[in-house]
Amino acid sequence: MHDARLEDQLRRQLRSEVDSLPFSITAEDLDRTLAVRRRNRMVRRGWLAAAAAAVVLVVGLGAILGLRGKDQPSVSVSPSPSGTPSASPAAVGPAWLAITGPADWQPDPGYEMQVNGKAWVVDKNNGGGVTTVDLANPSRVTISGVGGCESILAFTAQPGRMYVIRFAANGSPAVEDWTANGVDSGPGINGPVTPKCPAAAADTIDTPRPPSEATPQSVRPTEPLGAAHDAVFVRLVGPTDRPDQLTVSIVTLDAAAFETKPSQRIIARIPGSAIPAGLRLNSRDALYAQAGWLALDVADTTKLDRSILIVDLRAPDHATWLVAGNLSVASWGPGSILAVPENSQIHLYNPDGQTVDSVQIPDGVNIADPDARPAWLAAGTGFLTWKGDIEREIGRLDLGGAFTAVTEPPATFQASGLERRWGPDGSELGGGCPTEGGAPGCSISTSLNGGPPIEWYAEGSGKGTIQDSAWDAAGKGVWLLLERGTGRGPKTHVVLHADAPGDWLEIAGMPLTRPSDSSLKFQGLQDAAATLDGRHILIGVASAEVQAAVSGDGARATIDPGAWFAGWADDQGPYPVR
Amino acid sequence: MTVDAMRRRRPEALAALLESYGREIQGVAYLILRDRAAAEDVVVETLLTAFERAGDLRDERALRQWVLRIATNRALGIRRSGARVVRLEIVPDPEAPGDLGASSADRLTLLDGVDRLPAQMRAAVVLRYYADLSVEDVASALGKSPNTIKAQLQTALDRLRISLAETGGAVPEVRHA
């Protein structure tokens, strides 16, 4: 057949193939998606503005406070950076009380603050603010929920001091002593009004503490909550979308774990109320940061507006941060900063201080494949990136947005072991299948910069159908997960490893449960250890529970059902291991 | 459709983009990915990207090529990320009227052959023979030289011809040294 005839035939058949496809996308679909994108950006800007406002509040209005101090010499203001109350109980003067909450805070039905028989109200129409209360003596301040008049916080305010009552996203309040920092006169709290609630019994007492941003005593520990061979698992208690609780546990995967059941300890219990009202748990996707943060995938009921709920596992009942973004494309870096790509930017969320930064991705630079997570450089100084979709130019993108081409892929940080983008020489691991339904023809191959593929495994060999594959820790060998069995008969799932194409060694075989519409996946890889029994592989369906933990010598550990893998508890070392 | 309207973020520009290029983007993405849902995702992502980044387009006359380039790169990206296992099926259809000279078996063989091509080569084939871009435009879309694209297309045709011959669909061209 001559080229012209073949070309003509090709044109007609490609078009015929496409002509049979229905086309259901509407302009309304586009408008809606665009609106969601813009709303997410607005939320981010809101956070940035809030962060900037907080700086102004502390720095600028501290000066105002200083002037007031000159006018009111009788007010004793502690110079102590700790903010420990030091005013004399006999001092007479105003106490400054501020109530604040997360960005866009609209508490509903709201809260009532009572002091000496007067009340101030915050609700969805009257958000947080500041008020002053003249106190002759130390006085009780109580916060009650308007709905049921339940007392949720009480503390003793000293005359002349400044307090910030801060509500976390999950509705938990805490009181901070801001006397040493200053509080803006700001918008007033709605009041005073006649109390709706009876004088609250002080059954929930909180001691004013210094603001967390300002004092050395409150510096949050950053050491990991477990060891390198510990896996962090998350489990749900109660309904899947609005659970009563999420438990976070550490499962120790050492050699002993593969002889007996691995030891397990719960490190945090996240109350279901940590998920803000109106949002639902969107998927079983959870990412653990080694400084002790957990990121969860949440969304509104339409599932169009995706957000990420960051929980401090050291204070899971009240320290949460809700940010806009899609967790399925996010990744924690070695500094426990969460990178969330969106269009031409990567947003960097640092929950320790709740700061947000953004990196502009230069034109033509790819940060990750769609629906894949960006790979942080091992040093946390940027990301592994590339230019070009056909012939790739691998490089680094630093946090200032500069792309630098490199000859070999730089070492990358590993939170789960699945961040292995290329081999050390830039080779890509991939595969494909023929088109005949059910034909055993899929294969796994490597190729260097779009060059000819080198086949590592072909289903035609009869060893099984491919479920997943991944580079090993050195990037020189390949892990492979196969399914064996035909028709409706029993299936066996086999883990194999090869140091060279075709040189497969079976590690372990086991029957696992695979839904008809999903493949089994490697969920976590920890295989840099020198000994086989120090290498661990977690297997399950993506965004679902771990079904098996296999060690490099073929042993299996039993993992309690219902646990999703969120990451390794401590540093795994960079990929590739040298 | 004016690029100016896109740059000004005029709401009607998005609908016009969809009208002008939506179907073609779907075709390109589907032929690369062989996944209808993923192809629809590519359509949405491509159109929104084009709408929001119209300021990046230097030559307004190249809007179509630019949009197809975005779509192709998106599709190839998805292909790579999901490339661990991609199961493809083609169900035989009755022969289309007027599809003279192409039996159902030939059609399956040809489409099967296209799917077996390396992703980048397949993208070149799709842009050239489905979207009817010139070799120069295909090269521009894929960031390669026209000579490279010519070589890729020739290799692709050779492979397709062999596929047809192996199934008895057509006699391969005999080349003499």
> Between chains, do A389 and B51 touch, taking CB under 8 Å as contact?
no
Whether A516 contacts chain B with CB within 8 A: no
For the question of an ipTM over 0.90, the answer is no
Residue with tokens 């950006």: A41
Round to whole Å and give the CA distance between A461 and A225: 45
Tell whether A404 lies on the interface with B, counting CB pairs under 8 A: no
Q: Give me the DSSP letters along A26-65.
A: -HHHHHHHHHHHHHHHHHHHHHHHHHHHHHHHHHHHHHHH
Number of H helices, E strands in chain B: 8, 0
Element (H, E) at B11: helix B11-33
Instruction: Give the distance, in angstroms, between the CA of residue A307 and the centroid of all CA atoms in the same chain.
Output: 10
Q: Percentage of chain A surpassing pLDDT 90?
A: 32
From A432, A17, A203, A482, select the one nearest B86 (Cα to Cα).
A432
pLDDT digits (tens, 9 = 90+) for B104-163: 556 667 888 888 888 889 999 999 999 999 998 898 888 778 888 898 899 899 888 887
Q: Nearest to residue A498, comparing CAs of A514, A482, A511, A483? A: A482
With cut-offs at 50, 70 and 90, classify the pLDDT of residue A32: confident
In the A/B pair of chains, how many CB contacts fall below 8 A? 180
pLDDT in tens, A89-119: 333 567 778 887 766 667 888 888 988 888 8
Distance CA B39, CA B78 (A): 10
Structure tokens at A239: 């309904």
Q: Does B40 contact A3 at a Cβ distance shorter than 8 Å?
A: no
- Transcribe A565-576 into DSSP letters: EEEESS----BS
Average predicted confidence (pLDDT) for chain A: 80
Asked whether the predicted pLDDT for residue A68 surpasses 50, the reply is no
Q: Which of residues 39-98 of B touch A (CB under 8 A)?
A: 39-40, 43-45, 47-49, 51-53, 56, 72-74, 76-78, 80-91, 93, 96
Q: Which of A45-54, A180-189, A485-494 has the highest mean pLDDT?
A: A485-494
H or E stretch including A538? strand A536-541
Q: Which amino acid is located at B69 in the chain?
A: R
Residues A334 and A497: their CA atoms lie apart, in Å, by 28
- CA-closest candidate to residue A223, choices A575, A571, A564: A571
Tell me if chain B has a CB within 8 Å of the CB of A517. no
Q: How far apart are CA B99 and CA B82, in angstroms?
A: 34
Q: How far is B11 from chain A (nearest CA, A)?
A: 8
Cα-flanking dihedrals φ and ψ of residue A497, to 5°?
Answer: -140, 145
Beta-carbon separation of B143 and A16 below 8 A: no
| pLDDT score of A478 more than 70 | yes
Report residue A334 as tokens: 């070695």
Residue B176 pLDDT exceeds 60? no
Q: In sequence order, which residues have a C-beta less than 8 Å from that of residue A413 and are 6 or more positions away?
A: A333, A334, A375, A376, A377, A378, A380, A419, A574, A575
Q: How far is Cα A496 from Cα A482, in angstroms, rounded to an integer?
A: 8
Which residue among A25, A431, A450 places its CB closest to the CB of B84?
A431
B36 touches A at CB < 8 Å: yes
Pick from A17, A20, A521 the residue to mutate for testing the B interface (most B CBs within 10 Å): A17
A436 reaches B (C-beta below 8 A): yes
Q: Lowest-confidence range among A166-175, A347-356, B150-159?
A: A166-175
pLDDT range class, residue A567, cuts 50, 70, 90 = very high
In residues, how long is chain B?
177
C-beta atoms surrounding A241 within 10 Å: 14
The DSSP symbol for A209 reads: B
| Predicted pLDDT of residue A186 | 52
> Is the pLDDT confidence value at A85 over 80?
no
Q: Name the pLDDT band for A364 (thresholds 50, 70, 90).
A: confident
Q: Which of B23, B129, B172 sits opposite A14 (nearest CB)?
A: B129
Q: CA angle A507-A510-A514, nearest 5°?
A: 120
Using CB atoms and an 8 Å cut-off, which of residues 93-132 of chain B contact chain A?
93, 96, 99, 101-102, 106-108, 110-112, 114-116, 118-120, 123, 125-126, 129-130, 132
Which residues in chain B are closer than 8 Å to A422, comparing Cβ atoms?
none
Whole-Å CA distances, A253 to A250, A496, A566, B107:
9, 20, 14, 53
Locate A333 and state its tokens.
């870096």
**What is the rounded CA–CA span in Å between residue A387 and residue A385?**
7
Which of A44-53, A58-67, B107-116 ranks highest by mean pLDDT? Answer: B107-116
Query: Do residues A338 and A310 make contact, with C-beta atoms less than 8 angstroms apart?
Result: yes
CB contact (8 A) between residue B84 and residue A453: no
Give CA angle at A352 (A351, A353), nearest 5°. Answer: 95
Task: Verify whether the Cβ–Cβ distance B161 to A1 is below 8 Å.
Answer: yes
Q: Pick B170's closest partner by Cβ from A1, A372, A437.
A: A1
